[in-house]
Structure 1
Amino acid sequence: MTRTEEFEELRPLLFAIAYRLLGSVSEAEDAVQETWLRWEAAPTTPKSTRAFLSAVVTRISIDILRSARVRREQYVGPWFPEPLMTDPYDDPERSAELADSVSVAALLLLERLSPLERAVFVLREVFGFGFPEIATAVGRSEAACRQLAVRARRHMEAGRPRFAADHEEREELAGRFFDAFREGDLKGLRELLAADVQLVSDSGGKAPKFRAGVFGAEQVSRLLAVLVTPFVRIGGSVEQRHVNGQPGAVFRDRHGKVINTLVLDILDGRVQAIRSVLNPEKLSHVGPVANVWTVDRETRQALRQRTAEA
């Protein structure tokens, strides 16, 4: 097998590691590309290509993450990871860990960790690397990595909900939610939302947003029910999809261009949180991006016209 073939075989794993460390599709792709350049220039062949490339992409991602933290502190409004439509890496023996670790809720918890804690947690808990390999990847002793793993696990477990939703129950509830949403069914929406549900958007200051967030079942259900009819009236569509492994949707304008993504956080038989990515800089990998300001203006004009006609 040539070096190129070895690399391409491992590319899905390398991207999966980088994305979980960075929460960014574009930055993960950059990290994988830089890994390829270093692999191509490596003077010798390592004993384990998988271990070598995983270590390289981890170190590159840690460096990117450290510089990205400064930018995120200056980010306008809430920061969410770039939506991931499909995880390219699959491992049947670790399917549960892989699915859980790519959810928006889990990625936001990972943001609380230091870059080293995050790297150790991802390599150990998600991908099952041994501590000797992890120590090489992050440049710390095995003992130090074990301590980092304990701290990271403690932080992650403290932030996780006590009861996860059953997969079938979650999918069924999501289907009911989107049916009610498309129909503008206020009562149906309200019944599916937790009392303290929150609707929060990541616009990065580059798109309209729902103020600092919309909170409570009554407020959220009313906003969703009011906006969907004029949105559909101007040719908009709601494409139900899995986003970061969770029930969600892609919103498109009349030309099929991407407006935003939306993901549902479902627990205890209710939608607990609705998170939307509106920042166009985070959506280009999903498809051609719409002018969200134009869509927002047209939707509000259609809403005013509908109100006047009523």
Structure 2
Amino acid sequence: VSDRSVVALVPKQTSSYNIPASASISRTSISRYDSTFRYTGSPDSLRSRAPMITPDLESGVKVWHLVKNHEHGDQKEGDRGSKMVSEIYLTRLLATKGTLQKFVDDLFETLFSTVHRGSALPLAIKYMFDFLDEQADRHGIYDTDVRHTWKSNCLPLRFWVNVIKNPQFVFDIHKGSITDACLSVVAQTFMDSCSTSEHRLGKDSPSNKLLYAKDIPNYKNWVERYYADIAKLPAISDQDMNAYLAEQSRMHASEFNMLSALNEIYSYITKYSVELITALEEDEQGRRHRLAYKVEQLIVAMSFDS
């Protein structure tokens, strides 16, 4: 738009800018301070009351759409208008991202840190990650990307993404549609940060991926450092883990129904009884404690009760 141009808001035009026979328009004057449109038509016709403007490139009259016009006959002109609108929204998105950047960084830094602001890493996370590394060594899996993916699927992508996307699960709040859209962008960035694959972006990539394209490499470094720091921590013994679980059970004894939890576990036992019994028979500690026999006795006892 050049300097000293005059802008007027007009109703949506008909397809291909066809002017009804009952309506006409004449441009009388367009100046720096005045723009007057005269039109005639039936007063009972809604369309006749709205000025219909025919684009006249020679005289400098152009019609622009605030939203993408899917009914426009000229596809090239419509694409150009859509691109202009996308650029406007992208500017607003970047401004909003800059406002929220500190909070997103603080969130990611807190989640991907073994010691942050006085909060020590939970023993369960260290124990679980060591178990995954032990299973990888046991089965001869030395690809670091596979181990990275296992850990990401167990904690960040299994738990934290769900909390980020659905804060109402933790807090007594209402999540509106706008908030949901914003959190979806943060959650997608979080998932991309845990991925080991390279993200190739182009001009046709969605705006939610373009917003944090420059930040994701830094976030990926945080994730890799987080997993490496956990691996360097002292191993958690079975005794310490059992004591930790007993303490957690004592602290939350009144918040959970033990019988209900056992019933949920039993549903998995019955579903995978053959695989479970076979695995216990092959395991050294399982044979020592006769766990396979105890599981069989449990299934028999429960079948009589049912």
**Range class of TM-score, shorter chain:** under 0.3
More strand by share: 1
Q: Say which one has the larger Rg.
A: 2
TM-score, scaled to structure 2: 0.22
